């Protein structure tokens, strides 16, 4: 599925943030029942890859060479975008508060802006800088001012590594697909990421535990696989497919700013489903994040991290004499830039 409209890309990116935002409320019953975070993340990734496998096979239509051509994107998505990001985040949680780890990880959009500045040697426009300030201010209000505090530098380093992994996810997702459909990239990337997480946890680097009894779920009781299946389908499979599709349509920078809505949706779902308090400051923070997205979306300057278009072939006698206007330039248009 390819989205050509910018507003269509915004819609699918918001859907991704909404889907990712449900994961906290849906996975919390598993964690409270004794699942370790690494086990829950590995299980949701592997389950989501199984759910997406039939859709990926249909989307590929026998074009398995597309998977081989996109093998580095698949490995990058699985190893960096899924496994390394999650490993770094959960390692950071061992020594720093969740709010601090979230705040640092969601600085990924600023990393992308800085990366574009360094690689293109073009300073961000004022509207982008305003968007960065609004988004970070809103993020701080939604997560909570307590996220800024003196913390263990090693934990902070792992949280920053998670932010780099998050930024890499958007860069990989926004790259030209070479015929690899978003659903195929998501399915294969989640499979690789889930396997890497399981293997690393098996070494004892991270606690890995799971329970398989009934557990409380939104006021009733349900088997353990019910919340796992819901989080795998909605918060993982749908979220990654929509996120990859949105990034391909919007580019990595704007898609990463839209993804900040995940923390807003997570707070709303925790309020509705778990009864957690939603403060006025969090609502103001959500409005600031929206303002930051609008500012970045309103910037009509050159998009960051643009892959240069291939040069037109030199005119030849054959093309000059062609009866079709510009027949020598009838080649596929370059893919949308990141």
pLDDT in tens, 110-153: 999 998 888 888 888 888 899 899 988 888 888 876 666 666 78
Q: Which of 266, 37, 59, 303 has the alpha carbon at shortest distance from 170?
A: 303
pLDDT in tens, 237-248: 999 999 999 998
Higher pLDDT, 198 or 300: 198
Residue 283 has a pLDDT of 85
Residue 1 has a pLDDT of 55
Highest average pLDDT, of 93-102, 248-257, 315-324, comes from 248-257
Rounded CA-CA distance 319/171 in Å is 37
Q: What is the pTM of this model?
A: 0.80
What average pLDDT is seen over the chain?
81
Q: In the predicted model, is pLDDT for residue 321 greater than 80?
A: no
Q: Is the sign of the CA dihedral 153, 109, 304, 181 positive or negative? A: positive
Q: Which of 211, 260, 255, 292 has the alpha carbon at shortest distance from 102?
A: 260
Please, which pLDDT band fits residue 276 given cuts at 50, 70 and 90? confident
Residue 37 has a pLDDT of 85
Residue 238 has a pLDDT of 95
Q: In the predicted model, is pLDDT for residue 172 greater than 50?
A: yes
Residue 101 has a pLDDT of 81
Q: In the predicted model, is pLDDT for residue 21 greater than 80?
A: yes
Please, which pLDDT band fits residue 300 given cuts at 50, 70 and 90? low
Rounded CA-CA distance 255/120 in Å is 19
Rg (C-alpha) for the chain, rounded Å, is 21
Residue 304 has a pLDDT of 44
For residues 202-231, give the mean pLDDT: 87
Q: Is the sign of the CA dihedral 230, 232, 235, 241 positive or negative? A: negative
């Amino acid at each position: 599925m390819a989205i050509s409209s910018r507003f269509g890309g915004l819609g699918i990116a918001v859907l991704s943030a909404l889907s990712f935002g449900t994961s906290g409320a849906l996975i919390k019953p598993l964690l409270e029942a004794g699942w370790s975070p690494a086990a829950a993340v590995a299980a949701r990734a592997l389950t989501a890859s199984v759910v997406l496998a039939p859709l990926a096979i249909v989307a590929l239509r026998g074009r398995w060479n597309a998977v081989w051509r996109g093998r580095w994107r698949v490995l990058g998505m699985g190893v960096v975008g899924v496994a390394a990001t999650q490993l770094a985040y959960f390692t950071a949680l061992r020594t720093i508060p969740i709010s601090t780890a979230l705040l640092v990880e969601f600085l990924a959009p600023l990393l992308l802006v800085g990366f574009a500045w360094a690689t293109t040697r073009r300073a961000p426009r004022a509207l982008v800088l305003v968007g960065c300030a609004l988004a970070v201010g809103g993020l701080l209000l939604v997560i909570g001012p307590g996220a800024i505090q003196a913390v263990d530098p090693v934990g902070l380093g792992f949280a920053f590594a998670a932010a780099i992994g998050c930024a890499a996810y958007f860069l990989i997702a926004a790259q030209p697909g070479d015929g690899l459909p978003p659903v195929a990239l998501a399915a294969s990337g989640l499979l690789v990421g889930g396997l890497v997480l399981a293997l690393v946890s098996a070494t004892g680097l991270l606690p890995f535990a799971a329970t398989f009894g009934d557990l409380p779920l939104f006021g009733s009781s349900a088997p353990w696989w019910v919340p796992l299946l819901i989080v795998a389908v909605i918060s993982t499979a749908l979220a990654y497919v929509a996120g990859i599709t949105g990034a391909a349509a919007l580019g990595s920078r704007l898609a990463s700013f839209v993804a900040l809505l995940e923390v807003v949706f997570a707070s709303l779902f925790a309020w509705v489903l778990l009864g957690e308090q939603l403060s006025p400051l969090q609502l103001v923070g959500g409005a600031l994040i929206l303002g930051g997205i609008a500012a970045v979306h309103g910037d009509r300057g050159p998009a960051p991290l643009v892959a240069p278009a291939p040069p037109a072939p030199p005119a030849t006698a054959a093309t000059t004499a062609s009866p079709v206007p510009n027949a020598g330039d009838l080649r596929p248009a370059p893919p949308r830039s990141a």
